[in-house]
Amino acid sequence: MQILIIRFGDDWKKCLELPPKDTRMRTADVTSTKGNEFEDYCLKRELLMGIFEMGWEKPSPVQEESIPIALSGRDILARAKNGTGKSGAYLIPLLERIDLKKDHIQAIVMVPTRELALQVSQISIQLSKHLGGVKVMATTGGTNLRDDIMRLDETVHVVIATPGRILDLIKKGVAKMDKAQLIVMDEADKLLSQDFVVLIEDIISFMPKDRQILLYSATFPISVQKFMNKHLKKPYEINLMEELTLKGITQYYAYVTERQKVHCLNTLFSRLQINQSIIFCNSTQRVELLAKKITQLGYSCFYIHAKMMQEYRNRVFHDFRNGLCRNLVCTDLFTRGIDIQAVNVVINFDFPKNAETYLHRIGRSGRFGHLGLAINLITSEDRYNLKNIEDQLVTDIKPIPSSIDKSLYVAEFHSASSFY
Ligand SMILES: *[C@@H]1O[C@H](CO)[C@@H](O)[C@H](O)[C@H]1NC(C)=O
Ligand SMILES: *[C@@H]1O[C@H](CO)[C@@H](O)[C@H](O)[C@H]1NC(C)=O
């Protein structure tokens, strides 16, 4: 394997290069794939500890795109929704760059609401737990101004704020921005609305000329574009609004009774050219039972389910990702699709009940453009759900044919057919 794997606790100095871009199976609409680990970014060990304690296993797409660029000091304009790991995408590089030897404000995160300010400050406190003394302060309207003034009398490295309050503190000369090199705008579409944009520009005018701006927004209204043209310097643009897609995945169903499922799985194992597979069951007990059966049949497998300790789960998943085992049995644990390139077959041993779960199990993020096979074991009870999910996702799940064309899911055959 070409990818340099550095585990937690190894020598961090070895962390010199990012893994090579993945060149395996892709469909035409793909421009880049990564598959990085948090270890790849040469972050401080203490920060990595915080990241793993948050239960973050691997950078999300917006994090993969943001972290190295933000660390390099370049401006970023990112289109990303909530729930995509956006706060980690800017907090990780932000915290990495805090210099504890200096006691002035070094970074400011602007958010539109008090709720978001509290949420972001909570995450930064947890992430920086082992960093030994990063001081994070949240300041928003609707709280006692004098408390904030007193707080700023002590060391503060990172301010998380709504625009009105922080501007107030800046103008009073209490919050000093002249050495703050980084400003993040979360939910920038809201921050740059008519009511706020003047305040934001005012705040920026108190910062150094060469400050870095990271801007995250779900939409790109004119106000954001105008602001970008005026204040961002050659921003690196990230657009991750792509949804999970079933494009490139060939989906079949096999009609079975409950008792035939294991036998059917065994047949699939012997007939398919599986590189790595993930097999979904609907409960913890069924995961454990099936994993045992698969082992008895003579195939290697790992299993994870929701009742395992997060840390242990992460370890198993990490090992699976690194190819230590061919098959993984699990319950629904993935919220943004499986993005392991080596997985070319996904099996629904138990068919899910709704379209969203199906999509999370089978779908891939568009930019990975993965080719693969999804096989659904369907009992008579699942028939209605099958029809329903097909309708809702506007997709076609066909009966499994007696032989399956390898070019649909096996990398070598795929590239062979496209090259010759
Ligand atoms: C899981 O699937 C089995 C077999 O199809 C079924 O008997 C059981 O009720 C299902 N459990 C849940 C929680 O859906
Ligand atoms: C097959 O899986 C192994 C890990 O099990 C991985 O290293 C390899 O790159 C995979 N091959 C393809 C074509 O995805």
Q: Ligand 1: which residue has its CA nearest to atom 1?
A: 282
Nearest C-alpha to atom 13 of ligand 2 is from which residue?
Answer: 411
In this structure, what token pair is assigned to residue 242?
A: 């792509």
For residue 262, the ligand closest to its alpha carbon is 1
Question: What residue's CA is closest to ligand 2, atom 9?
Answer: 342
Q: Are 386 and 355 in contact (CB under 8 A)?
A: no
The sign one gets for the Cα dihedral 141, 143, 145, 150 is negative
Using an 8 Å Cβ cutoff, are 32 and 367 in contact?
Answer: yes
Tell me if 388 CB under 6 Å of ligand 1. no
Distance between CA atoms of residues 168 and 128, nearest Å: 27
Walk along the chain (420 residues) and give the pLDDT tens digit of each residue: 222 222 323 332 223 233 333 333 332 222 233 678 899 999 999 999 999 999 888 898 889 989 999 999 999 999 877 777 899 999 999 999 999 999 999 999 999 999 999 999 999 999 999 998 899 999 999 889 999 999 999 999 999 999 999 999 999 999 999 999 999 999 998 899 888 899 999 999 999 999 999 999 877 777 888 899 999 999 998 876 556 788 889 999 999 999 999 999 999 999 999 999 999 999 999 999 999 999 999 999 999 998 888 778 888 988 998 999 999 999 987 655 677 888 999 999 999 998 878 988 998 865 555 789 999 999 999 999 999 899 888 899 999 998 999 999 987 775 544 433
pTM for this model (two decimals) = 0.52
Ligand 2 atom closest to residue 341's alpha carbon, by position in its atom list: 14
Q: Is 82 in the pocket of ligand 1 (CB under 6 A)?
A: no
Question: How crowded is the C-beta side of 261, counted as CA atoms within 13 Å?
Answer: 22
**Phi-psi domain of 171 (left: phi exceeds 0; alpha: psi -120 through 50; beta: other):** alpha
- Give me the domains of the chain, ranges plus CATH numbers: 21-239 (3.40.50.300), 249-408 (3.40.50.300)
Instruction: Extract the tokens encoding 169.
Output: 């503190």
